Amino acid sequence: MGCLVAGLGAYLGLILAIAPGQPEPEPEPESSSIAGGWLQITPLGFGIPGPGAGSDIAQLQRAVRSGFRWGFGLGLSFEPVRHLFINAAASFNQTIWMFRNVERDGYELCFRGDCYGWDERGVGHFMRIGADLRIGWTSRWLLAWALVAPQLGVSRIRLDCNNSVEAHCDRAETDVGPGIGGGLGVAVRPTSRLAVGIESSIDHAWVDSRDDPFTAVRSFSAALILVLRF
């Protein structure tokens, strides 16, 4: 009997030794959800005055040709139901204006009680600090959304004169006012944590609280965006 038990044990041991091992469990696929932290970087964009023909933006349209725009945002994204995308973020962006040639286009840049002629040029910056709300559609490979953004606009204008001995050449003005923006965006997702796309918007800010040369600043902009989910 003992010999039989020993023989059976040896036989079972041999079977277990030559039997194929159990397959390793496959790793769970990475989640395609957009939910989580949201970091948006805008390395390259442009802005132009308008659209519209209101008197409040007439001076801006006469003075400014276009501008370079950059910015960033940080917030949270949610996917409460499948494919529904909601994002809330705080953002900052800056547009550096390129002014028209005064001598060629015949406009005057006026502020601080005076208008300046052909030998001065304006250097302008417009900054927006806002709270962005995005609502849209998401899948593993694509994002598309509408944007609404209440903002605080900060306008900065400085004179840069060819003739620096003139007393007014060091004049500058900073103005602050409320604003609102709205737009659309679309991005592809090469990975579940990275999206690359384009966002466009129309932004309007009222900045006539002091003595800025522009009663209001309204611009259309479009920009390349990079989004990191974390």
Give the closest residue to 126 by CA, choosing from 55, 190, 193, 46: 46
Q: What percent of the chain has pLDDT over 90?
A: 51
CATH number at residue 159: 2.40.160.20
pLDDT value of residue 88: 98
pLDDT value of residue 27: 45
For residue 203, list its beta bridge partners.
181, 219
Domain of residue 53 covers 32-229
- Kindly state whether residue 23 falls inside one of the protein's structural domains: no
pLDDT band for position 220 (50/70/90)?
very high
Better-predicted residue by pLDDT, 177 or 168? 177
- Kindly state whether residue 19 falls inside one of the protein's structural domains: no
User: Which of 26-35, 44-53, 176-185 shows the lowest per-residue confidence on average (mean pLDDT)?
Assistant: 26-35
For residue 143, list its beta bridge partners.
138, 187
- Kindly state whether residue 8 falls inside one of the protein's structural domains: no
- Kindly state whether residue 149 falls inside one of the protein's structural domains: yes
pLDDT value of residue 211: 58
For residues 218 and 181, the answer to whether their CB atoms sit within 8 Å is no
pLDDT band for position 209 (50/70/90)?
low
- Kindly state whether residue 208 falls inside one of the protein's structural domains: yes
Q: What is the mean pLDDT of the chain?
A: 82
Where do the H-state alpha helices sit in 69-178? 102-105
Cα separations in angstroms, 22 against 10, 16, 25, 26, 27: 21, 11, 9, 12, 15
Report the domain count for the chain: 1
pLDDT reading at 28 higher than 50: no
User: Which of 24-28, 144-148, 151-155 shows the lowest per-residue confidence on average (mean pLDDT)?
Assistant: 24-28
* Mean pLDDT on 103-129: 72
